[in-house]
Amino acid sequence: MTDHLNTKRLHVITWGCQMNVYDSARMADVLAPIGYGPTEAPEAADMIILNTCHIRDRASEKVFSELGRLRVLKQAREAEGGRMILAVAGCVAQAEGKEILARAPYVDIVLGPQTYHRLPEMVALAARAGGAVIDTDFPTEQKFDFLPDEAAPQTPGGLSAFLTVQEGCDKFCSFCVVPYTRGAEASRKVASVLAEAKRMVAGGAREIALLGQNVNAYHGEGPDGSTWGLARLLYALADLGIPRLRYTTSHPRDMDDALIAAHRDLPALMPFLHLPVQSGSDRMLAAMNRKHKAADFMRIIERVREARPDMALSSDFIVGHPGETDADFADTMKLIREVGFALAYSFKYSARPGTPASGAPNQVADAVMDARLAELQAVLRQQQNDFNASCVGKTMDVLLTGHGRHPGQIAGRTPYLQPVHLQGDASVIGRIARVDISAAHPNSLSARLLDEPRLSASVSPLPTEEPACA
Ligand code: SAH
Ligand code: SF4
Ligand code: F3S
Tens digit of each residue's pLDDT (9 = 90 or more) over 429-447 = 999 999 999 999 989 999 9
55 lines ligand 3 (CB under 6 A): yes
Contact 111, 135 (CB under 8 A): yes
Cα–Cα distance, 16 to 52 (Å, whole number) = 7
- Distance from C-alpha of 59 to C-alpha of 356, rounded to nearest angstrom: 18
Residues 6+ apart with CB under 8 A from 1: 151, 153
Ligand 3 center–CA 130 separation, angstroms: 30
Nearest CA to ligand 1 atom 1: 213
For the CA of 351, the nearest atom of ligand 1: 22
Closest CA to 66 of 14, 28, 127: 14
Q: What percentage of the chain carries pLDDT values higher than 90?
A: 84
**DSSP label of 69:** H
The whole-number pLDDT of residue 39 equals: 95
Question: Would you say 275 and 231 are in contact if contact means Cβ atoms under 8 Å apart?
Answer: no
Residue ranges of the chain that CATH labels 3.40.50.12160: 3-135
Let me know how long the chain is. Answer: 470
For 252-303, the pLDDT digits (tens) are 999 999 999 999 999 999 999 999 999 999 999 999 999 999 999 999 999 9
The Cα 372–Cα 369 span in angstroms is: 5
For the CA of 214, the closest atom of ligand 1 is 1
Question: pTM (2 decimals)?
Answer: 0.91
- Of ligand 2's listed atoms, the one at least distance from the Cα of 251 is 5
Query: Mean pLDDT throughout 216-234?
Result: 97
- Between the two ends of the chain, the Cα-to-Cα distance in Å is 48
Conformation bin of residue 388: beta by default, left when phi > 0, alpha when psi is -120 to 50: alpha
16 lines ligand 3 (CB under 6 A): yes
- The confidence score (pLDDT) of residue 129 equals 65
Residues with Cβ within 8 Å of 302's Cβ and at least 6 positions away in sequence, in order, are none
Topology (CATH level 3) of domain 3-135: Rossmann fold (3.40.50)
Confidence of residue 99 (pLDDT cuts 50, 70, 90): very high
Q: Ligand 1 centre and the CA of 55: distance in Å? A: 7
The whole-number pLDDT of residue 396 equals 96
Res. 455 pLDDT band, cuts 50 70 90: very low
pLDDT value at residue 4? 53
Percent of the chain residues topping a pLDDT of 70: 91
Nearest CA residue ID for atom 5, ligand 3? 17
Q: How many angstroms separate the Cα of 355 from the Cα of each of 140, 147, 234, 319, 448? A: 25, 32, 33, 17, 49
Mean pLDDT calculated for residue range 202-219: 95
- Residue 405: CB atoms within 10 A of its CB come to 7
Are 226 and 236 a contacting pair, CB within 8 Å?
no
Phi, psi angles (nearest 5°) of residue 252: -55, -35
Q: How far apart are CA 453 and CA 258, in angstroms?
A: 33
Regarding the beta carbon of 249 and ligand 3, being less than 6 Å apart is answered no
**In degrees rounded to 5, what are phi and psi of residue 205?**
-65, 135
> Is the CB of 321 inside a 6 Å radius of any atom of ligand 3?
no
Q: What average pLDDT does range 179-195 have in this prediction?
A: 94
Q: Return the DSSP state at 171.
A: -
Q: Tens digit of pLDDT for each residue in 394-439?
A: 999 999 999 998 999 999 999 999 999 999 999 999 999 999 999 9
Best residue among 279, 284, 318 to mutate for probing ligand 1's pocket (most ligand atoms within 8 Å of CB) is 318
pLDDT (0 to 100) of residue 138? 80
Among the bound ligands, name the one nearest to the CA of residue 250. Answer: 1
Pocket, ligand 2, Cβ cutoff 6 A? 169, 171-173, 176, 178-179, 213-214, 251
Angle between helices 18-31 and 90-103 in degrees, nearest 10: 70
Q: Count CB neighbours of 113 within 10 A.
A: 25
Determine the distance from the C-alpha atom of residue 371 to the mean position of all C-alpha atoms in its chain, rounded to a whole number.
Answer: 28
Q: Which CATH number fits domain 391-470: 2.40.50.140, 3.20.20.100, 3.40.50.300, 3.90.930.60?
A: 2.40.50.140
Rounded Cα gap, residues 155 and 149, in angstroms: 12
Classified as helix, coil or strand, 258 is helix
Distance CA 276, CA 252 (A): 7
For atom 1 of ligand 2, which residue has the closest CA?
Answer: 176
At 335 the pLDDT is: 98
Of 129 and 233, the structure prediction assigns the larger pLDDT to 233
Residue 3 has pLDDT above 60, yes or no: no
Read off the pLDDT of each residue in 65-72 and give the average, rounded to a whole number.
Answer: 97
Tens of pLDDT along 22-48? 999 999 999 999 999 999 999 999 999
Ligand 2: which residue has its CA nearest to atom 5?
171
CA proximity to 287, closest of 232, 237, 325 = 325
Report the C-alpha gap between 444 and 442 in whole angstroms.
Answer: 6
DSSP string, 386-410: HHHHHHTT-EEEEEEEEE-SSTTEE
Say how many Å lie between the CA of residue 75 and the centre of ligand 2: 39
Which residues of the chain are in CATH 2.40.50.140 domains? 391-470
Residue 419 Cα to chain centre, angstroms = 17
CATH 3.80.30.20 maps onto the chain at 154-388
The superfamily CATH assigns to domain 154-388 is tm_1862 like domain (3.80.30.20)
Measured from the CB, is residue 19 less than 6 Å from ligand 3?
yes
Phi, psi of 20 (to 5 degrees): -70, -35
What is the overall mean pLDDT for the chain? 91
The contacts of residue 134 (CB under 8 Å, 6+ apart) are 97, 98, 101, 109, 110, 111
Rounded to whole angstroms, the Cα distance separating 290 from 276 reads 10
**Average pLDDT of 233-239?**
98
Look at residue 151 in the predicted model and tell me its pLDDT: 40
Note whether 31 and 119 are within 8 A (CB).
Answer: yes
pLDDT at res. 216: 97
Q: What pLDDT was estimated at residue 127?
A: 81
